[in-house]
Amino acid sequence: MAMREVELARIIRNDETPECHLYLRELDGGRIFPIIIHQNEMAEIHRKVTGLVMRRPMTHDLFASLMQAAGLRLTAVEITELKSEVFYARMLLEGDAGQSFSLDARPSDAVAIATGVRAPLFASEKILDEIGVVEGAEDDTA
């Protein structure tokens, strides 16, 4: 499966529902697409982006601490599929002994953890082809 590197472009909160929109932008090509997430994950990603440190560890911090204690590094997050309006992701991990494996994850959790440990994000070419739009192109009326 062909993957393209993406970056966190923005998060938009909806005051009328508990849903927020997480936008990921292709680094080389500029296509962008939204993933619906809940406010808790939005707050965690925002906290990671802005560097806000909590007095006690949050859930995503615990996961990162557990990875470190186990000698594991998150090498990448891949947004792999969109099926029936649900996104799927996997977290790619490597251990100090050279082992590697992947974990199935919700994209919102995977992005929050990756943002905290500065791991790269990727999206499948298929997702970008199906729903990605070049920023500004959706406003064209030509």
Q: Are strands 121-124 and 31-38 parallel, antiparallel or unpaired?
A: unpaired
Q: Which residues contact 80 (CB under 8 A, 6 or more apart)?
A: 1, 88, 89, 90, 124
- Taking the C-alpha atoms of residue 3 and residue 76, their distance in angstroms, rounded to an integer, is 11
Q: Which residues contact 82 (CB under 8 A, 6 or more apart)?
A: 88, 127, 130, 131
pLDDT in tens, 15-54: 888 889 999 999 988 899 999 998 888 989 999 988 888 8
Domain count, the chain: 1
Q: Which domain holds residue 47?
A: 3-136
pTM of the model as a whole: 0.88
- Taking the C-alpha atoms of residue 70 and residue 48, their distance in angstroms, rounded to an integer, is 22
Does residue 68 lie in a domain region?
A: yes
Does residue 13 lie in a domain region?
A: yes
CATH assignment at residue 20:
3.10.690.10
Residue with tokens 């990921």: 24
Which strands form 133-134's sheet, in the order they lie side by side?
A: 100-105, 86-95, 72-83, 121-124, 3-13, 19-26, 31-38, 133-134
Q: Which residues contact 51 (CB under 8 A, 6 or more apart)?
A: none
Does residue 142 lie in a domain region?
A: no
pLDDT in tens, 53-98: 889 988 889 999 999 999 999 999 999 999 999 999 999 999 998 9
